[in-house]
Structure 1
Amino acid sequence: MASTNRPADPLAKGTIATAKQGFRDLFVWDQRVVVRNDYGEEHCEWQRPEPLKNPISLFAQLSLKDWLYFLVGFLAWTADAFDFHALSIQTTKLAAYYKQSNTNITTAITLTLLLRSIGAAFFGLAGDKFGRKWPMVLNMIILGLLQVATIYAKTFQQFLAVRSLFGLFMGGVYGNAIAMALENCPVNARGLMSGILQQGYSFGYVLAACVNLGVGGETNTWKIVFWVGAGFSIAVGFLRVLFPESKQFIEAKKAGHTQKGSGAFWAETKVMLAKEWKMCVYCIILMTWFNYYSHTSQDSYTTFMKQSKHLSSAGATRASILMKSGACVGGTILGYTSQWFGRRRTIICAALISGCLIPAWILPTTERGLSASGFMIQFFVQGAWGVIPIHLNELSPPAFRSSFVGITYQLGNMISSPSAQIVNAVAEATMITTSKGTKSPAYGPVMGVATAIIAIGIAVTTAVGPEKKGRHFEEAGPIGASLEIPKDIDNGSITEKAGAETVEIADTKRNDEKV
């Protein structure tokens, strides 16, 4: 964006004022952008969006090293999604294997989502404190080992226990992967790269569905899909070992943003929470809507096609693959478009269009019809999601990009964790007559009503929220590096407060200056 040098009012303070300002800004074509000067000071100005640039030219702005960081982050997020969807797309197989209902099997999905926020907090703070590399390596290898442990779970109780533990470590992937991938991208390429990056989730679903299609519909074949997922995760972990620490994290330290003791780390964390708690709450609410959005519209869709539309296992899997291919395309295109159209406007339009497509999504009875309608609705569902990685990075406190993004995302996951279980329970308690005259759980109506409510919720929440498009968050140092160091002029010492610690540093230049 080229600056118009037109100053804008600063970002509003207070919940009501922020909501009013955010809603008004939706109807102003020029965008309120947070600009950071050479002294680290931020101000707002109105900027007119530039026409979208050729994607090839945006790709060319990334160096080879930038691409490597991005691809490793993308693969980590893809492997994470593969491991999760290895369960959700095989619900009926696992129900037969453990002799449980579909609703009982989805308890594992609920437990996984419920515990992801704990892993996000631990590994996110570790990523912001120590760097992106080793927390991600540890995450990916343990995820692979837990996939293997799932295969050897003999009882349903063991299966649930392993999936709960899986959720703890799964939660740590998103924040570190997103921060590492996007902080190395040029500012005007971030919308496009955000859209591509987020679709690692959909791509992981597509890969898991392809493997599931390849192994066939026999009950015990679910284990093969989990073996593939285990190998994928462990391979990404070892791949990350081969690359150095994130460039921006290293450069921040070289520029003088040295990490201080644990006292400074927790002191700055407390300061951030005191200052940004409203932003934290807002992002958690937004991520709760978004996680309901994706899980409600996809986790039970394969089961819906099998039981309500009478598709074969292979036919339902093929339709699921095409559905998530639409997600990959939509997320990339709309994430790219958000660089010109604005983050919030893109999310709102995508959510409302997806709501309008719901009848076409659940009414078809053939594989082709369900594939086409699934493609279109996921184009807009994941199109809205494609904006989220960069939108959250821009809203987050700069030093906390890994932990803030990961924790808010996973807390939203935790709150929305019963989504698949709720859909299955309500659907199984409500029977409808299918096109073949048989009784079937009402998966279609339940998913349709729930998705419509969620789409409206996303549109309203986004409309009254803030936007900090174009923010230079990559210039911030690690947590604990930005605490102010006041100087005592009278005695010529510097007092550095880091938690409970106080360090007196003598000013050796004082006598020289007097001379």
Structure 2
Amino acid sequence: MATNNERADPIAQGTFATAKQSFGDLFKWKQRVVVTNELGESHAEWQSPEKFKNPISILMLLSAKNWIYFFVGFFAWTADAFDFHALSIQTVKLASYYHTTKTEITTAITLTLLLRSVGAAVFGLLGDRYGRKWPMVGNMIILGLLQIATIYAQTFQQFLAVRSLFGLFMGGVYGNAISMALENCPTDARGLMSGVLQQGYSFGYVLAACANLGVGGEVETWKTVFWIAAGLSIAAGLLRCLFPESKQFREAKAEGHHISAGDFWEETKTMLAKEWHMCVYCIILMTWFNYYSHTSQDSYTTFMIESKGLANNGATRASILMKTGACVGGTIVGYLSQFIGRRRAIVGAALISCCLIPAWILPNTEAGLSASGFMMQFFVQGAWGVIPIHLTELSPEAFRSSFTGITYQLGNMISSPSAQIVNAIAESNFIRNQSGELVEAYGPTMGIATAIIALGIAVTTALGPEKRGRSLEAAGPAGANVHHHDVEKGLDAGSIAESKRMSMAQVEDSHAERKAES
């Protein structure tokens, strides 16, 4: 399609050339985009950013069907987070129940994080091959059943075995939920909806924390929280049964496309050969991001209790407010990314979080820690709010589910020891609190680590690519884009393009003749 935009230099080739071009583009208000016409010919041009729009008008762009897809994806992601945090916020109860240490209980968390990448690969590829619907249905129902199995684990060894399986199935949720929710959203709404969607994870934490407060502190009450988690997961799976597949999979089925295993793996190998640089970049980015969230939040409750002297209930309330800030920040920064760009939104939020670190760790009261925790997570999760749509737009077209899920979960796997690293350093170093007593140095440890990570995110994002506004509907299921017919006819790419030009010319001539006759 012809446009009046200024032509730009082509997208650079090579790692260093691409990084140099990306960094320079960050300081240009217009965005360099690749435009493809009806003949398959591409060129780069400068496009002006979208004008700011009222969030209400953006929400009104979604049809009832768009809202259904989004809500199901958000619900699945929230249930997934509730499942995970049902364990992490009840470590003390579980340690008492199984007569072991809190450190041993956290082994289950590490195993869960390590195996999530396996589930992301399995269910992501199933989602790209067969559609988002049934892999998600099976995934969520099995997750719920594994939560129930955890309740009936009699020994600690059985508990670890069930949680390992849980991690495998938990890893499959993100890719299918994110791709289904966003690929069915209007393009102009994707930034805002990405911010809301990502905070399903924080919302799941808030719900789990509220459930934990509601059931009380008795040891056996951990099972009640797990029953609630199981109900949410199974409900998400059953809800997904009620609604149709995503548009591109319905269209491929209606057109009678038969995708063989050979077609699927052929396209997968072609994609990996072409996009492996992007895969590596996104894994590095997601490693930074997962360290960012885990380092700034996992030990914060412990920090408030051990270093600041807050009671358990006060620390829990402050943690809930902290995650509320995450929900608000993710939504707002995700919305802004639609207009200022994905990378500018991430870099800005990361740098602001660096500036907030002193105010984050220095207060000594519950009110002060609640307020500073709210603002810190506003920007930490604000940067995170851009990730679902940023990853989706960077993904190879036909592999959005597997690409987003695997890169996210591999980053999670690499960052899995983050909490243990923070705890080990903090417990080996001491500072004096406001009363002059020696306490474990959680504040300085988290502050220094978070500053390093936030700067790493800013630099990595500034040197990386961006494809804001990219079409998500063009490619069909993985394997449906293998051009067997062209190969069988012995046509090379140039012949195919020439054939398309001739066809377009014939159409234009026909239109001209009709106009002349009239």
Superposition TM-score, scaled by structure 1 size? 0.91
Q: Tell me how far 1:252 sits from its aligned partner.
A: 4.5
Alignment of 1:284-363 (within 5 A): 284-363=283-362
**Residue 177 in 1 paired to residue 177 in 2?**
yes
2:120 and 2:405 in contact (8 A); partners too: yes
> Deviation string for 1:269-297 (max 9, x for gaps)?
00000010000000000000001111111
**Residue 273 in 1 paired to residue 272 in 2?**
yes
Q: Name the SS for the 1:45 alignment partner.
A: strand
Query: Given the superposition, is the C-alpha separation of residues 446 and 106 from structure 1 closer, same or farther in structure 2, using an over 3 Å criterion?
Result: farther
**Equivalent-residue separation in structure 2 for 1:20 and 1:187 (angstroms):** 28
1:83 and 1:147 in contact (8 A); partners too: yes
**Matching residue of 2:225:** 225
Q: Tell me how far 1:407 sits from its aligned partner.
A: 0.6
Q: Name the SS for the 1:5 alignment partner.
A: coil
**Equivalent-residue separation in structure 2 for 1:42 and 1:221 (angstroms):** 60
**Equivalent-residue separation in structure 2 for 1:366 and 1:348 (angstroms):** 31
More moved, 388-397 vs 87-96: 87-96
1:175 and 1:407 in contact (8 A); partners too: yes
Alignment of 1:328-477 (within 5 A): 328-477=327-476
**Equivalent-residue separation in structure 1 for 2:12 and 2:100 (angstroms):** 52
Q: Tell me how far 1:216 sits from its aligned partner.
A: 2.2
Query: Given the superposition, is the C-alpha separation of residues 332 and 53 from structure 1 closer, same or farther in structure 2, using an over 3 Å criterion?
Result: same
Query: Given the superposition, is the C-alpha separation of residues 173 and 495 from structure 1 closer, same or farther in structure 2, using an over 3 Å criterion?
Result: farther
Matched AA of 1:269: T
**Matching residue of 1:206:** 206
2:137 and 2:237 in contact (8 A); partners too: yes
**Equivalent-residue separation in structure 1 for 2:490 and 2:138 (angstroms):** 37
Matched AA of 1:460: V
More moved, 438-447 vs 466-475: 438-447
**Matching residue of 1:243:** 243
Q: Name the SS for the 2:154 alignment partner.
A: coil
**Matching residue of 2:505:** none
> Deviation string for 1:14-56 (max 9, x for gaps)?
1111100110001101111233433455432211112211111
Q: Alignment length, in residue pairs?
A: 490
More moved, 325-334 vs 257-266: 257-266
**Equivalent-residue separation in structure 1 for 2:412 and 2:244 (angstroms):** 30
**Structure 1: unaligned runs, 5 residues or longer:** 497-515
1:110 and 1:420 in contact (8 A); partners too: no
Matched AA of 1:408: T
Matched AA of 2:130: F
1:93 and 1:218 in contact (8 A); partners too: yes
Matched AA of 1:169: F
**Matching residue of 2:282:** 283
**Equivalent-residue separation in structure 1 for 2:447 and 2:212 (angstroms):** 26
Q: Name the SS for the 2:6 alignment partner.
A: strand
**Matching residue of 2:43:** 43
**Matching residue of 1:507:** none
Q: Name the SS for the 1:467 alignment partner.
A: coil
Q: Tell me how far 1:420 sits from its aligned partner.
A: 1.6
Q: Name the SS for the 2:360 alignment partner.
A: helix
Q: Tell me how far 1:397 sits from its aligned partner.
A: 0.4
Q: Tell me how far 1:310 sits from its aligned partner.
A: 2.1
> Deviation string for 1:397-422 (max 9, x for gaps)?
00000000101111111111111222
**Residue 20 in 1 paired to residue 20 in 2?**
yes
> Deviation string for 1:468-490 (max 9, x for gaps)?
111102211111111123547xx
2:6 and 2:45 in contact (8 A); partners too: yes
**Matching residue of 1:500:** none
More moved, 447-456 vs 210-219: 210-219
**Equivalent-residue separation in structure 2 for 1:24 and 1:143 (angstroms):** 45
Matched AA of 1:11: I
> Deviation string for 1:283-317 (max 9, x for gaps)?
00000000111111111222222222222222111
1:133 and 1:245 in contact (8 A); partners too: yes
2:266 and 2:479 in contact (8 A); partners too: yes
Matched AA of 1:375: F
**Equivalent-residue separation in structure 2 for 1:31 and 1:409 (angstroms):** 26
Give the superposed CA RMSD. 1.9
Query: Given the superposition, is the C-alpha separation of residues 425 and 92 from structure 1 closer, same or farther in structure 2, using an over 3 Å criterion?
Result: farther
Q: Name the SS for the 1:34 alignment partner.
A: strand
**Equivalent-residue separation in structure 1 for 2:38 and 2:121 (angstroms):** 32
2:248 and 2:477 in contact (8 A); partners too: no
Query: Given the superposition, is the C-alpha separation of residues 129 and 370 from structure 1 closer, same or farther in structure 2, using an over 3 Å criterion?
Result: same
**Matching residue of 2:53:** 53
**Equivalent-residue separation in structure 1 for 2:248 and 2:92 (angstroms):** 45
**Equivalent-residue separation in structure 1 for 2:278 and 2:159 (angstroms):** 37
Q: Tell me how far 1:64 sits from its aligned partner.
A: 0.3
Query: Given the superposition, is the C-alpha separation of residues 422 and 159 from structure 1 closer, same or farther in structure 2, using an over 3 Å criterion?
Result: farther
Q: Tell me how far 1:221 sits from its aligned partner.
A: 2.3
Query: Given the superposition, is the C-alpha separation of residues 264 and 218 from structure 1 closer, same or farther in structure 2, using an over 3 Å criterion?
Result: same
Query: Given the superposition, is the C-alpha separation of residues 487 and 293 from structure 1 closer, same or farther in structure 2, using an over 3 Å criterion?
Result: closer
More moved, 416-425 vs 286-295: 416-425
> Deviation string for 1:350-394 (max 9, x for gaps)?
011111111111121111111100000000000000100110111
Matched AA of 1:125: L
Superposition TM-score, scaled by structure 2 size? 0.91
More moved, 107-116 vs 260-269: 107-116
**Equivalent-residue separation in structure 2 for 1:397 and 1:42 (angstroms):** 17
Alignment of 1:137-148 (within 5 A): 137-148=137-148
